[in-house]
Chain A
């Protein structure tokens, strides 16, 4: 019953909006605003397996590479900065400066430095989405419980055990929060990076359709990006539930008492 209700609640608004779109756009003769039925037909025609292989998979591969790079780099640097206030004081001004640079601006710069290939796009994605991961990791590591730190010291728990069981696990709820924000940014930066000096990818395809006046195909590309965003968010939530089971359990327990 609750599962049914949850599903109805979650699907209610999307279904409603699609219905309204369908009804309002039915029989549209406006060239730029085709009927939803036309867009869906174009969707099926456009995103064939060949097209998926040519544009979608390269995009997703770059997204994954850039995101993982940001995740490992952000967490590693975050632990270093959060664990030592001298390092923090030393690096903070530089990081504030870098963080203020909008990532799309760096596409031309990175193209000059590392060419127009995948490497540039991966780097731009990583640079764009590393900040929420880095800053949340720093705060998470800094906010570790003092009693737990003392416990590690008195029981002489150091090195890798301390890194994992004290620093990283303490910070993990914050890291996950940062990683969730980063995922959304990564998707945006991925599309933008593919709109500049690219020869494949989702962003490239959508831009090509628009320039070639393939308007229904262009709309179908936007729909596909939205769907990918939803799927990524679902996958993320699934991973989060698995990793932070202790965290949600603890919080639920606290409310009970």
Chain B
């Protein structure tokens, strides 16, 4: 599970002080699929990097699996937006997936098994011996997802993972992530700027305000667990929820919390 408690992050560089995150508090219970949306520049990536232990908070704290985060926590995996840069270009696909397992000193046979399973789960069985740069963008992001799956995390963070792939691939990857989440039972925090994507994927959508960021709204997505690109997106409830999220985001954009005081 994830707990964000009065998180505040101020960037202070070259005499310019930017409050990226004002005061953020929310909890993602064990096993939940939570999406975080917000206007651009609202500190979504900052939040994710803080949760991943890549960035220390200015004040407040974050907890992952009931431990205060001071460094990248064990049992947490991240899928970055820049799939092309998060894979090792000098390693073949299988070795990319296996590298975190090698760092955990998992035996070779078991590593191979986990990597094969993970690659099969993302539909990339048989591409293990290719180099990442020989694959298309969507396939590269699948490799990054396979690497996260093979790592067997309890918490999975995704930072706009599909922002840079084409629409068709994106729909496929969205369904892939739903099925991965259902199968692994991980706690999943999915950061996106795409409202439709957030509503389609999540059990819950946390809407952030513009910087300095707070939680503007927190919606339960009471769509059926079995989701489908055609029927779910045509569901009147889906349309209603996405309209609500959209209206909220328009509101926070027009009305930044800084001005309210």
Please give the residue numbers on chain A whose beta carbons come within 8 Å of chain B beta carbons, in ascending order: 145-148, 150-151, 153-158, 161, 165, 169, 172, 246-247, 249-250, 253-254
Which of B52, B82, B91, B104 lies in contact with A154, CB distance below 8 A? B52
Beyond A153-B53, A154-B77, A157-B100, 20 additional pairs, beta carbon < 8 A: A147-B80, A147-B86, A148-B85, A150-B54, A151-B80, A155-B72, A155-B99, A155-B151, A156-B103, A156-B104, A157-B103, A165-B88, A246-B131, A246-B133, A247-B90, A249-B131, A249-B133, A249-B134, A250-B89, A254-B133
Chain B residues positioned under 8 Å from A154 (CB to CB): 52-54, 72, 76-78
- Please, what's the 1-or-0 string for B138-152, where 1 marks a CB less than 8 Å from any CB in chain A? 000000000100010
Contacts of B103 on A, CB cut-off 8 Å? Answer: 155-158, 161
Contact B77 A155 (CB under 8 A): yes
Does any Cβ of A come within 8 Å of B251's Cβ?
no
User: Can you offer 30 A-B residue contacts whose CB atoms are under 8 A?
Assistant: A146-B85, A147-B80, A147-B86, A148-B85, A150-B49, A150-B52, A150-B78, A153-B72, A154-B76, A154-B78, A156-B72, A157-B99, A157-B103, A161-B102, A165-B88, A165-B90, A169-B88, A169-B90, A172-B90, A246-B89, A246-B90, A246-B133, A247-B89, A247-B90, A249-B131, A249-B134, A250-B89, A250-B131, A253-B133, A254-B133
What is the CA–CA distance of A147 and B91 in the complex, to the nearest angstrom? 16
Cβ-closest chain B residue relative to A161: B103
Number of A-B residue pairs, CB cutoff 8 Å, is 69
Nearest-CB distance from A188 to chain B (Å)? 32
Across the interface, name the chain B residue whose C-beta is closest to A252.
B133
Shortest A121–chain B CB gap in Å is: 36
Smallest distance from the beta carbon of A251 to chain B beta carbons, Å?
A: 9
- Please determine whether B100 and A155 come into contact, CB atoms closer than 8 angstroms: yes
Are A145 and B85 in touch, CB under 8 angstroms?
yes
Select from chain A the residue with minimum beta-carbon distance to B101: A155
CB-contact partner of B99 in A145, A147, A153, A165, under 8 A: A165
Q: How far is the CB of B66 from chain A (nearest CB, A)?
A: 19
Q: CA of A147 to CA of B159 in the docked complex: distance in angstroms?
A: 12
Set of chain A residues within 8 Å of B133, measured between Cβ atoms: 246, 249-250, 253-254
Q: Main SS of chain A's interface residues?
A: helix
Q: B74 within 8 Å of A by Cβ?
A: yes
Query: Would you give the 0/1 interface string for B113-152, flagging 1 where the beta carbon is closer than 8 Å to chain A?
Result: 0000000000000000001011000000000000100010
Q: Which of A150, A250, A253, A254 contacts B80 (CB 8 A)?
A: A150
The CA-CA distance from A113 to B90 in the complex, in Å, is 44
- C-alpha gap A166/B89 in the complex (Å): 10
Provide the residues of chain A in CB contact with B72, threshold 8 Å. Answer: 153-156
Residues of A within 8 A of B104 (CB): 156
Residue of A whose beta carbon sits closest to that of B151: A155
In the bound complex, do residue A148 and residue B88 qualify as a contact, i.e. CB atoms below 8 Å apart? yes
User: How far, in angstroms, from A157 to B52 measured CA to CA in the complex?
Assistant: 14
Instruction: Find chain B residues with CB under 8 A from A161 CB.
Output: 99, 102-103
- Shortest B164–chain A CB gap in Å is 12
Point out the residues of chain B lying under 8 angstroms from A250, CB to CB: 89, 131, 133
Within 8 A of A (CB), among B49-107: 49, 52-54, 72, 74, 76-78, 80, 82, 85-86, 88-91, 99-100, 102-104
- Determine which residue in A145, A146, A151, A161 has the highest number of CB atoms from chain B within 10 A of its CB, and name it: A151
Residues of A within 8 Å of B90, CB to CB, are 165, 169, 172, 246-247
A151 CB contacts on chain B under 8 angstroms: 78, 80, 86
Contacting residues, chain B, for A172 (C-beta < 8 A): 90
Distance from A196 Cβ to chain B, minimum over Cβ atoms (Å): 43
State A156–B54 Cα separation when bound (angstroms). 11
4 tightest A-B CB contacts, nearest first: A155-B100, A147-B85, A250-B133, A157-B103
Measured CB to CB, the nearest residue on chain A to B54 is A150
Point out the residues of chain A lying under 8 angstroms from B82, CB to CB.
147
8 Å CB contact of B86 from A148, A165, A249, A253: A148
A153 in complex: contacting residue of B54, B85, B89, B151, CB < 8 Å: B54
A156 to B53 CA separation, bound complex (whole angstroms): 11
In the complex, residue of chain B having the shortest beta-carbon distance to the beta carbon of A243: B90
CA distance A246 to B96 in the complex (A): 13
Q: Once bound together, how far apart are the Cα atoms of A209 and B122, in whole Å?
A: 70
